[in-house]
Structure 1
Amino acid sequence: MIDLSHAEDQIHCVTSFQDLVSTSFHGKMNAICWNRKLVGDFSEIVKKVELSENIVTLDQEQLHGLELSEQGQLAREILLNDLNILEAYGAAPTLNIIKCYERDDSFPFLPTDVYSFHVDRSPIPTDTFLCTYHGESSDILPNSQGTQKILIPEIRDQLKKLYDGAEEGFESFLSEYFFDLHYQAKPTAHPINLGIGHLWRLAIDHPESQVPPCLHRAPKEKDGQHRLLLIC
């Protein structure tokens, strides 16, 4: 079960895919969870795929080609079904096996990789869907428990040193390089782990959004344990 003790009305749980995609975000609620307890051995699928890079994408043909035990086959059917229902909805899901993401050390005072709390942005109305089937799972954070990093004085001062244009273009500079997407958890913050097997829909920053975008981050992976993640 998802721990909602610090959710601040941010999360709404549903019991079907139809409710997941038809429920409207409103107020503080910017994360919807299709709460599920999945069957099958997803770790077997992860072990069957050799990673030549830090992230490998599995397509349906590759999934069908894996020689799996009965429990592995159950897991595969769930993966295929999740991919199919999201594609039928109009989304473009990808299934990744992840050793780790690339770290961003370009600006030590403001990392802009996915391990930092951040929001997603789109020029058109859309949402982020994700589900972790194996390995460490992502965290989200109530918006009141995060501070936009560009508003932190010492970080803002460092960014101004990077910028060499006219003062009126500074905010556009922050947006162009995605600095404005990243947040710092407050000292008293309580991140909420998204758990294993649940399919989530997260609000993002787009022109027609009626709610604040959901703050989320990728987890730090455990050594030797790869993640199996669906995202779109």
Structure 2
Amino acid sequence: MRCVTNFRDLVSTPFSGVVNAIGWTRQLQGDFSEIVKKVALSGNITTIGREELCELRLTEQGQLAREILLSDLELLTAHGASPVLNVIQHYDQDDDYPFFPTDVYSFHVDRSPIPTDTFLCTYYGDSSEILPNSQGKLKIDIPEIRAELRKLYSGADDGFEAFLSEHFFDLHYQAQVGARPISLGVGNLWRLAVDHPESRVLPCIHRAPREESGRARLLMIC
């Protein structure tokens, strides 16, 4: 990972070598919890549109937080991204395969057929974690897990790898013994490498937090 001090460097610094996560580290002003409290929640994940954000009646500290959110939305949009601002109480968990959950609480990488990056920032609540690639092992390469996946698959042998990809099993990792996940912190805007055909680095392994604090999470992602 590498840290920078402005948005221009965040989007222009190339990934190289083992560096597949770049963060614009910041100490943000304002009360982001006020925005979480004022938004009308609709389910486990509530998306806040620009218009709704602008219409919230906020204190001076809440207004400072809103200005930062609007600025980040504008910066990312001008860069060509499609940022989404969410209040997250919790994500749905994958119960289809108890021995191999494929939800975002599992360490995983993002994949795209075209060159792109993942941007994210936690403004309030528990933050995402990344895992150095040297400290993670692809789950489908773990013999006992691969054996269980074989039991799920009923097709021809030459279609097994496609089966793993179609069900996103090949995106998930298991932290090795002694691994040290890295918290991305609150207020920092991150750019993570994605698995795509033109990538020159390994994709960044990351996961969503378990919301252990009990607080809803305010997250911008694209």
TM more than 0.5: yes
Where in structure 1 are there 5+ consecutive unaligned residues?
1-10
Distance 1:108 1:144 in 2: 26
* RMSD, matched Cα: 0.7
Equivalent-residue separation in structure 2 for 1:55 and 1:157 (angstroms): 35
Deviations 1:15-60 (A, max 9, x none): 1100000000010000000011100000000000132200000011
Matches of 1:223 and 1:40, distance apart in 2: 20
AA matched with 1:41 = D
Classify the secondary structure of the residue corresponding to 1:117.
Answer: coil
Structure 2 counterpart of 1:147, from 120, 137, 143: 137
TM-score by length of 2: 0.99
SS in 2 for 1:20: helix
Query: How many residues are matched?
Result: 222
Residue of 200, 210, 215 corresponding to 2:205: 215
Bigger shift: 47-56 or 106-115?
47-56
Q: Structure 1 runs of 4+ off > 4 angstroms? A: none
Q: Aligned equivalents of 2:119 and 2:186: distance in 1?
A: 14
Alignment partner, residue 217 of structure 2 = 227
Between the aligned partners of 1:174 and 1:115, the Cα distance in structure 2 is 19
1:147-193 CA distance string (max 9 Å, x none):
10001111100100111111111111101110000000001100000
Correspondence list, 1:1-232, <5 A:
11-222=1-212, 224-232=214-222
For residues 23 and 204 of structure 2, what CA distance do their matches in structure 1 show?
13
For 2:123 and 2:212, the matched residues in 1 are separated by 15
SS of 2:47's equivalent in the other structure is: strand
Asked if the contact 2:125–2:213 (Cα under 8 Å) also holds between the matched residues in 1, the reply is: no
Question: Structure 2: which amino acid aligns with 1:80?
Answer: L
- Cα distance in 1 for partners of 2:212, 2:53 equals 24
**Cα distance in structure 1, aligned partners of 2:4 and 2:177:** 31
Percent pairwise identity: 69
3-state DSSP of counterpart to 1:169? helix
| Deviation string, structure 1 residues 95-144 (Cα, Å, up to 9, x no partner) | 00000000001001110000000000000000000000000000000001
CA distance in 1, matches of 2:57, 2:41: 17
Equivalent AA in structure 1 for residue 36 of structure 2: V
Deviation at 1:224, TM superposition (A): 4.0
Unpaired stretches in structure 2, ≥5 consecutive residues: none
Rounded Cα–Cα distance in structure 2 between residues aligned with 1:193 and 1:200: 11
| Aligned-partner Cα distance in 2 for 1:109–1:40 | 42
